Amino acid sequence: MAKSKKTKPLSIVILAAGQGKRMASSLPKVLQPLAGKPLLQHVLETARSLDPAALYVVYGHGGETVRAAFSAITGVEWILQAEQKGTGHAVQQAMPKIPDDHQVLVLYGDVPLLRAETLRGLVALAGDRQLALLTVKLADPAGYGRVVRDSRRQVKAIVEHKDATRAQLALNEGNTGVMVAPAGRLRGWLARLKTNNAQGEFYLTDVIAMAVKDRIAVAAIPAAGEAEVLGVNDRLQLAQLEAALRHARANELMRAGVTLVDPARCDLRGELVAGRDAFIDVNVVFEGRVLLGDRVRIGPNCVLRDVSIGADSEVKANSVLDGAQVGTGCVIGPFARLRPGTTLAAGAHVGNFVEVKNSSLGAGSKANHLTYLGDTTVGANVNVGAGTITCNYDGVNKSRTVIEDGVFVGSGSMLVAPVTIGADATVGAGSTITENAPAGKLTLARSRQVTIEGWKRPVRKPR
């Protein structure tokens, strides 16, 4: 029986020191957003999924801003590259921290779409006598270093675009820069790097030729497609990656049984978990973590952020849901807004131009038109009439309104908190309620209607 290959500890080095001048932005390149998260966050999440023994980020331009953006992330060691002298120099900054018996995986903070499956395959190829290199076949390889192979199709070197001959420029296999190498050997190769190239920099790619010279095999595997290994240097490329990621995620949703009216017009900027037969119309934006139950329908032009929506509920057009929990069989919108702390029980309705904040609506309750419910507890089977406002804020403190089961609130009412409307009570339209309304009774709070005889409307004086 063949002996199984012993797995070596893995150290991951992420190069994130680039300035990103072509972004024309005051924000460091690795903090530019892709699908609602910084580029570097995508890379960090993928790297952490590999369960490395150590994870290093080599940073430079905008360094403190970059570190501050990830202050909540643990298990990352930050290493400053004070002078940017090339990719080889960047990796050198991390090597004093890495033991010789580790494998080193080099990633890039501006290459966000690499899949964990691809990287696991690459790591599995590497060993004491073999370096693993990720390449890509390109329709247009301009700007990429070329993978140069010998007559036996073995990799013998990487030549950067600016240093390539005409024959080498005709090659279409590009270097992604992603590699796995034994730490002890990599340390020696990095120490031998020279700057005799068009950029005057220490190229990490030069270690490939050194490995070949030292009779270390180079196993090169191609990425599944260009999008996976594309980097970001300007806003055009950032938009291209946004489209590629949107396309990939849309395909995953549709394969899972979700209907997307137009996959190109569904923006997933976080995590979406959707049940079967969910329906998503055009121009819907998902942010944070969103959970959709079976048969949920989302109308056009909606924004959903950190929400959970139960089965058979519908969100109609132009609604915004943020930090809300929606039960089964609810109807929301059109033009509704659910703010953080909102909870809707089964069968609740929140209609057009209704805003709900830090409030709960019980089963079967409805607020269908032009209403604001803030810091309110609404029982079951309540009807809140059009134009009702819970007056919850006195300029300093916020107070709570309680509307018990079966209440009917007439249109145009003001409920001044703190106040309780008892079960099965009715509030007459146009009332301003400042004291508790008893259960089962009609409560009115209107001023006496008066008609002023002889009153004349003011008229503008002619100029």
Here the CATH number for the domain that contains residue 351 is 2.160.10.10
Average pLDDT of the chain to the nearest whole number? 93
Task: List residues with catalytic annotation.
Answer: 369
CA angle 431, 432, 435 (to 5 degrees): 115
Q: Are 24 and 53 members of one domain?
A: yes
> Does residue 456 fall inside a structural domain?
no
Residue 461 lies in a domain: no
Give the DSSP H or E segment for 349: strand 349-352
Count of the separate structural domains present in the chain: 2
pLDDT at site 448: 87
Per-residue pLDDT at 181 exceeds 50: yes
Structure confidence by residue, pLDDT tens digits, 330-377:
999 999 999 999 999 999 999 999 999 999 999 999 999 999 999 999
What integer pLDDT is reported at residue 6 of this predicted model?
A: 66
- Band of residue 159 on the pLDDT scale cut at 50, 70, 90: confident
Q: Which two tokens stand for residue 197?
A: 């190239």
- pLDDT band (50, 70, 90) for residue 3: very low
Half-sphere exposure of 156 (CA within 13 A, CB side): 8
In a domain, 452, yes or no: no
| 295 shares a domain with 185 | no
Residue 68 and residue 212 in one domain: yes
24 occurs within a structural domain: yes
**Over the stretch 11-63, which tens digit does the pLDDT of each residue have?**
999 999 887 888 888 889 999 999 999 999 999 999 999 999 999 999 987 77
- Examine the domain organization and report whether 160 and 269 are in the same domain: no
- For residue 213, tell me if it sits in a domain: yes
What is this structure's pTM? 0.84
Q: Are strands 297-298 and 279-280 parallel, antiparallel or unpaired?
A: parallel
SS3 323: coil
Domain around 281: 235-443
CATH code for the domain of 96: 3.90.550.10
Contact 121, 28 (CB under 8 A): no
Same domain, 276 and 175: no
For residues 349 and 358, what is the distance between their CA atoms, to the nearest angstrom? 16
Strand blocks (E) in 96-172 = 103-108, 130-137, 146-149, 155-159
| Of the residues 163, 195, 229, the one at which a domain ends | 229
Does 51 share its domain with 116?
Answer: yes
pLDDT of residue 2: 44
Residue 462 reports pLDDT greater than 50: yes
